[in-house]
């Protein structure tokens, strides 16, 4: 079955992209609540892997750069709040 090209269709590119972006942002937020530094490293690595999966098909150059900065910043801030 071919995906529907209408943006409002449940299987449209736009809806698939939106679902992936929501999931990615939720995972970035969860990074800020990692229980220890090992979890920070593991979650950060998984997020960077996911970014590689999404780029360039579902996210643009600008989004890729911004999200990479956000992931790095969140990981560094969480590291600091863990006292490391």
pLDDT tens by residue, 6-35: 777 878 899 999 999 999 999 999 999 999
Q: Is residue 7 part of a domain?
A: no
pTM (predicted TM-score) = 0.86
Asked if residue 3 belongs to a domain, the reply is no
Task: Establish if 8 belongs to a structural domain.
Answer: no
**Residue 25 counted as domain residue:** yes
Within a domain: 67: yes
Q: Report the domain count for the chain.
A: 1
In a domain? residue 20: yes
Confidence of residue 2 (pLDDT cuts 50, 70, 90): low
Instruction: Give the residue-averaged pLDDT of 28-56.
Output: 98
Q: What is the Cα–Cα distance from 71 to 25, expressed in whole angstroms?
A: 9
Structural domain containing residue 35:
13-81
53 domain residue, yes or no? yes
Residue 75 in domain: yes
What's residue 9's pLDDT? 80
**In the predicted model, what is the mean pLDDT of residues 51-73?**
97
């Amino acid at each position: 079955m071919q995906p529907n090209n209408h943006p409002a269709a449940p299987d449209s590119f736009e809806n698939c992209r939106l679902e992936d972006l929501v999931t990615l942002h939720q995972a970035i937020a969860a990074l800020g609540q990692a229980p220890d530094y090992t979890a920070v490293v593991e979650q950060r690595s998984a997020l960077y892997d996911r970014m590689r999966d999404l780029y360039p098909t579902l996210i643009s150059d600008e989004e890729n750069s911004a999200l990479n900065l956000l992931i790095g910043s969140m990981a560094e801030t969480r590291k600091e709040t863990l006292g490391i």
